[in-house]
Amino acid sequence: MSPLFDLSGRTALITGAARGLGLAFAQGLAEAGARVIVNARSTAQLALAAEQLRARGHDAQALPFDVTDEAAVAAAFDALDQRGIAIDILINNAGIQHRMPLVDLELRDWQRVIDTNLTSAFIVGKQAAKRMIARGRGGKIIHIGSLTSEAARATVAPYTAAKGGIKMLARAMAAEWAQFGIQVNAIGPGYIQTEMNTALMNNPDFDAWVKASNPAKRWGQPEELIGAAVFLSARASDYVNGQIIYVDGGWLAVL
Ligand code: NDP
């Protein structure tokens, strides 16, 4: 493996990694040599994900916490400190979707989506960066945005606002932390076949719309996001900062 993409000796924390894109990121980073720590709220599903990674020969551990709970996140990082584990790579992947016309949207649902998709990246990113700065060896932080970081669609306003915010939060963090050798970038996936999109995949009209409007004429698969994540986690991207890489089959190119 080229040393530019070799993650041996690095430890990566991936939030929202009990399934879907997060689990694919964990698998991909582990294959590139990283020790991976997978996070989610559901302890049972998370334990299963870590077990699945270990069964494939990877160094994987589960670390359950809610990314919106600042105290729980701080406690999780303290626990890592006590075990002598330093995070070199953080992927802020945990996210939720809530579809509702804006006029019917309750404030609590707006808040829940903003907290999980945007504020969490500040909460977890701050804990990781504080330690990366103190350690003096730099680090990599990757936020997961979306096509909605760039283009709006109806009925997903808080998600769109959060994912637009993620793109700018990556730039804001890069502006502050580049001097410490920390690169903060984002990945913007197109429509990918995961549990988050179960209802959409099972809706024949939506499925047909995805296949008709994407130049690739198909949905994406979680594994297709791994290349961007490994690049942004590795030495190869040491001079890339504050960027978002869209992995969308070319969709934004034709919007
Ligand atoms: P999934 O719903 O399949 O997985 C989401 C993961 O996040 C689960 O492991 C879930 O576990 C975890 N999670 C949710 N809330 C929290 C929380 N508060 N604290 C910790 N973990 C949490 O989603 P995807 O894999 O599809 O999405 C992953 C990311 O990619 C999200 O940020 C999403 O917005 C983004 N994305 C996805 C796209 C797609 O088409 N699939 C397109 C563009 C972006 P648990 O519920 O147990 O906590």
Q: Does the 11-250 domain belong in CATH 3.30.565.10?
A: no
pLDDT at 43: 94
pLDDT at 233: 99
- What residues in the chain have per-residue pLDDT under 70? none
pTM of the model as a whole? 0.99
Give the residue extent of every domain in the chain.
11-250
State in Å: Cα 117 to ligand 1 middle. Answer: 9
The catalytic residue among 159, 191, 239, 246 is 159
State in Å: Cα 196 to ligand 1 middle. Answer: 7
State in Å: Cα 56 to ligand 1 middle. Answer: 23
pLDDT at 179: 98
User: Is the CB of 144 inside a 6 Å radius of any atom of ligand 1?
Assistant: yes
What tokens were used for 103? Answer: 């006029």
Euclidean distance between CA atoms 148 and 168, whole angstroms: 13
Mutate to test the pocket of ligand 1, among 187, 194, 203, 219 (most ligand atoms within 8 A of CB): 194
What tokens were used for 46? Answer: 């998370």
Q: What is the pLDDT of residues 116-160, one digit of tens each?
A: 999 999 999 999 999 999 999 999 999 999 999 999 999 999 999
Identity at 38, one-letter amino acid code: V
pLDDT at 69: 98
What DSSP string runs through 72-133?
A: HHHHHHHHHHHTT---SEEEE---------GGG--HHHHHHHHIIIIIHHHHHHHHHHHHHH
Euclidean distance between CA atoms 177 and 157, whole angstroms: 30
